[in-house]
């Protein structure tokens, strides 16, 4: 093979890789870091969720959150970072609580043996002013 063709091919491969890596990194949801791990069975039981599909779980989370006093926003995202994985992030800002301003849950699912299974759940909070951390973090508010 001609050396010039090989060099051009390697150049285009390098350029393509440099363009694709940042796009892929931006598409990935936040990792488990800075989340407090919580008990899956207790979380599901408290919210009366039976595992079915990621979209069904997200809809159940959104519809079961009735209290809205002080609520500024409520958002749910469902992402599929890999073919057989899903990540649900449920964020509520403006809680009727004197110390916690917002709460975020991250629910990770895997598609195994033709069904979705929750493999991990984590929680973050954002504190009210002068009540602890002001950014999303795993720690409790004062």
* Tens digits of residue pLDDT in 25-38: 333 345 898 999 99
pLDDT, position 67: 59
* pTM score: 0.72
pLDDT over 70 (residue 64): no
Rounded mean pLDDT of the chain? 79
**Rounded Cα distance, 142 and 39, in Å:** 22
Task: Quickly state the pLDDT bin for 70 (edges 50, 70, 90).
Answer: low
pLDDT, position 9: 47
pLDDT, position 8: 54
Give yes or no for a contact between 2 and 9, defined as CB atoms under 8 angstroms apart: no
Give yes or no for a contact between 116 and 109, defined as CB atoms under 8 angstroms apart: yes
pLDDT, position 87: 96
């Amino acid at each position: 093979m001609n050396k010039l063709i090989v060099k051009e091919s390697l150049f285009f491969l390098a350029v393509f890789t440099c363009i694709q890596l940042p796009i892929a990194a931006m598409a990935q949801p936040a990792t488990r870091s800075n989340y407090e791990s919580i008990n899956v069975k207790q979380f599901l039981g408290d919210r009366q969720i039976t595992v079915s599909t990621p979209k069904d779980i997200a809809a159940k989370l959104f519809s079961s959150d009735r209290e809205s006093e002080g609520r500024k926003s409520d958002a749910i995202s469902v992402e599929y970072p890999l073919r057989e994985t899903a990540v649900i992030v449920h964020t509520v800002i403006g809680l009727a609580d004197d110390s916690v301003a917002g709460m975020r849950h991250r629910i990770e699912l895997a598609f195994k043996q033709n069904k979705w299974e929750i493999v991990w759940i984590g929680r973050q909070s954002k504190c009210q002013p002068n009540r602890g951390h002001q950014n999303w973090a795993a720690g409790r508010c004062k």
